[in-house]
């Protein structure tokens, strides 16, 4: 079952500034901000120094609505017009796979569904209409 859907803004290194801006401009409550530097370390792929303070994920509450935000990882492409994606939270890995497969029909996979430290199944896909979706599974294990 789909649990929720919300806009996800993608910044290009100025995510910290954007969080402060939207907090003030929209009277938003900042629920949390995680940087790439706070990710669990991987000695095979150390976090580059220029990524440490970039926003990996920020969650703001605007009224009763969720607004999510992150920065691109250094070296990743950034194109004006592509900075808004749609995040969708689903309650099971099986349903996430089903939704992901349907959205990728005639589309393009940006990140295959995979287990991450925040989700048992997360992936990114751009559908045939050019809309990028972030599919995330929220199970009882990762709430």
**Residue 78 has what pLDDT?**
80
pLDDT at residue 16 is higher than 80 = yes
**Residue 21 has what pLDDT?**
92
Q: What letters, b where the CB count within 10 A reaches 16 and e where it falls short, cover 9-42?
A: bbbbbebbebbeebeeeeebeeeebebbeebeee
pLDDT at residue 86 is higher than 60 = yes
- Number of Cβ within a 10 Å radius of residue 84: 11
pLDDT band at residue 143 under the 50/70/90 scheme = very low
Q: What is the pTM of this model?
A: 0.72
């Amino acid at each position: 079952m789909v649990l929720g859907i919300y806009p996800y803004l993608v910044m290009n290194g100025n995510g910290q500034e954007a969080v402060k801006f939207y907090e003030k401009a929209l009277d938003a409550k900042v629920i949390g901000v995680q940087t790439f530097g706070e990710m669990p370390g991987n000695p095979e792929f150390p976090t580059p120094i220029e990524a440490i303070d970039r926003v990996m994920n920020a969650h703001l509450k605007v009224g009763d609505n969720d607004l999510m935000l992150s920065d691109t990882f250094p070296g990743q492409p950034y194109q004006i017009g592509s900075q808004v994606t749609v995040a969708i939270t689903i309650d099971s890995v099986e349903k996430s796979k089903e939704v992901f497969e349907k959205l990728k029909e005639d589309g393009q996979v940006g990140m295959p569904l995979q287990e991450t430290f925040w989700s048992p199944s997360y992936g990114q896909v751009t559908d045939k209409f050019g809309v990028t979706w972030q599919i995330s599974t929220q199970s009882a294990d990762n709430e």
